[in-house]
Amino acid sequence: MTATLVPAAPTASAATLEHPLAAQEPAPAEDASTSDPTEEITTEIEERVPEGFAEMVAEAGPYMGLLLGAGVSAVFAVVLTLVTSTVLTQIFRRRPRVQRTIRRTRLPLFFLILFGGSALSVRFAVSSIYWWQGPLYVALIIATIVSLAWWALRVVKIVEAVILSRYTGEGDEAIDDRQGRRVKTQVTLIGRVLAAIIITLAVAAVLLLNESVRGLGAGVLASAGVVSVVAGLAMQSTLSNVFAGIQLAFTDAIRVGDVIIIEGNYGHVEEITLSNVVVKSWDLRRFVYPSAYFVATPFENWTRVGSEILGTVELDVDWRVPLDQLRGRLERLLDSTDLWDGELGIIEVVHATGGYVQAWVTLSARNAGDIWGLRCLVREDLVNYLRAEHPYAVMTHRMMLSNEEALGGQPAPVATGQFGAVDPAEAATGPTSSGEGEEPEFASPEGLFTGSIAAVERSREFEGPGEEAYRERRQRQDEDPE
């Protein structure tokens, strides 16, 4: 019994000692879960740092090495900032808008290189035995992350300026309606989305420097489904507006410069953001609508595939109105004004009931501003013309009374043939004015959208996106009839 039991113990012990790491296999997974992501990034950066710089900083000692590393980083930052800024400015020397944006990247690029180099100097020159090494390194890393986010935002602005510079002059007001409205809408929206992503990543990177925050990572991932549902319910309206804004920009339902009518408000689209749409009315008021409103509610887009538009002037006149002479007056008036595009200008009788005649003057113009001014001009001129030349054509209300009702029940007088007699010529053509028969001058075309520099500028806001945009939309409709 003893001979058989004694060897068994050493055999089991040998089996246990033969694999000493078998019980410690989960340890690497535990280390991976608590690993510092900044250490991995720093290690990658350190491998690419020139060996001469690392040795120089390390040999100088903790304090002089830190100052030396910061000084070298500052000099390198100044040189690199000036070189890149000068080169890019020369490349875009014909685009002042891009040059202004490039100059704004100098400061964030300088701080990015300065703080990044200083952080590496702390790693190379300062030993971990110094209590201030850890906090200083973390502070420099945070400053580097903030500078990187700042510089990335400026780079996004540079790209945006380069794209928009094809369609703009010195300022935002010089946008070429014929080419750049849609591009401006989409580029601006994409820039804001990228800015939100950059800021979110920067905040997340700063928070991950805290070990307690990294420890919460597994718990956050485990409860991501619940958190997403709660966040979705709490931010439902905000998220719907954001996605609606993206949909508006890329489906081309509206774009900056489109003339629209929404809830009875007439204006043009001034700005499209992630969450709302700003509509500028003709009286300079601004209406701010949530982006989701345009996705779910019908609205009128007067410049969807073109700015040409028709307008009508309604005239209620007497049955004796001389329509041929009225048409001749309209034709001469349209030939004398630049508001008319030469396409359509007609008079039609649409109603002849209720004791009067309703005539519609249908007109065409190049854009909404011109049609407004043309309608006002035609309405005023035809009213003056009828009043001066054909006063009998002005609408009147007739009332027929019997003789007994008119005389209070007394017998009617004997008819002599003279009471109420009308000249046959006057009955055929209507009475003429008391003047010499000259037609009045055309009404002055001064109004809301015409007649002054301010009015012309106001009219340009209602010209729509331009011919290039209309041609692009028509091609898209032909390619995709659905």
Domain boundaries, the chain: 37-177+191-217, 241-305, 309-401+435-459
Average pLDDT over residues 455-475: 70
Average pLDDT over residues 179-187: 69
- Residue 358 CA to residue 348 CA, distance in Å, equals 9
**How does pLDDT run across 90-103, given as a tens digit for each residue?**
888 777 778 888 88
Contact (Cβ atoms closer than 8 angstroms) between residue 125 and residue 137: no
Average pLDDT over residues 379-400: 85
Banded model confidence at residue 160, pLDDT cuts 50, 70, 90 = confident
Highest mean pLDDT among 207-211, 258-262, 272-276: 258-262
Amino acid at 363: L
Give residues with Cβ within 8 angstroms of 272, minimum separation 6: 185, 188, 189, 245, 248, 249, 254, 255, 256, 278, 291
Banded model confidence at residue 9, pLDDT cuts 50, 70, 90 = very low
- Residue 354 CA to residue 323 CA, distance in Å, equals 19
Helix (H) or strand (E) holding 107: helix 106-125
Diameter of the chain measured on Cα atoms: 164
Share of residues in the chain with pLDDT > 90 (%): 9
Give residues with Cβ within 8 angstroms of 89, minimum separation 6: 99, 102, 103
At 121 the three-state DSSP class reads helix
> For residue 173, what is the DSSP state?
G
Q: Provide the CATH topology of domain 241-305.
A: SH3 type barrels. (2.30.30)
What's the half-sphere exposure (Cβ side, CA atoms, 13 Å) at 63? 0
CB-based burial label for 257 (10 Å; 0-12, 13-18, 19+)? buried
Confidence check: pLDDT of 446 > 80: no
Amino acid at 302: W
pLDDT of the residue at 376: 92
Give residues with Cβ within 8 angstroms of 420, minimum separation 6: none
Edge-to-edge strands of the sheet including 300-301?
286-290, 276-281, 265-272, 259-262, 300-301
Q: Which of 368, 348, 369, 367 is nearest to 358 (CA)?
A: 348
Confidence check: pLDDT of 302 > 80: yes
Average pLDDT over residues 331-344: 89
pLDDT of the residue at 363: 92
Contact (Cβ atoms closer than 8 angstroms) between residue 449 and residue 372: yes
DSSP readout, 188-253? HHHHHHHHHHHHHHHHHHHHTTSHHHHHTHHHHHHTHHHHHHHHHHHTHHHHHHHHHHHHHHHHTS
Average pLDDT over residues 58-71: 66
- Residue 462 CA to residue 479 CA, distance in Å, equals 28
pLDDT of the residue at 240: 77
Higher pLDDT, 386 or 73: 386
Average pLDDT over residues 144-148: 90
Other C-beta atoms lying within 10 Å of the C-beta of residue 323: 14
Amino acid at 473: R
Higher pLDDT, 39 or 334: 334
Token duo for residue 6? 């004694």
The residue written with tokens 């319910």 in the block is 233
pLDDT of the residue at 42: 58
- Residue 194 CA to residue 58 CA, distance in Å, equals 39
Q: Which of 60, 78, 82 is nearest to 69 (CA)?
A: 60
- Residue 143 CA to residue 73 CA, distance in Å, equals 14
- Residue 132 CA to residue 257 CA, distance in Å, equals 58
pLDDT of the residue at 458: 63
CATH 3.30.70.100 is the classification of domain 309-401+435-459: yes
Average pLDDT over residues 403-417: 52
pLDDT of the residue at 423: 47
Q: Which of 144, 150, 138 is nearest to 36 (CA)?
A: 138
- Residue 88 CA to residue 103 CA, distance in Å, equals 9
Buried-exposed string 73-87: b where 16+ CB fall within 10 A, e elsewhere: beeebeeebeeebee
CB-based burial label for 371 (10 Å; 0-12, 13-18, 19+)? buried
Amino acid at 256: V
Q: Is the pTM of this model over 0.85?
A: no
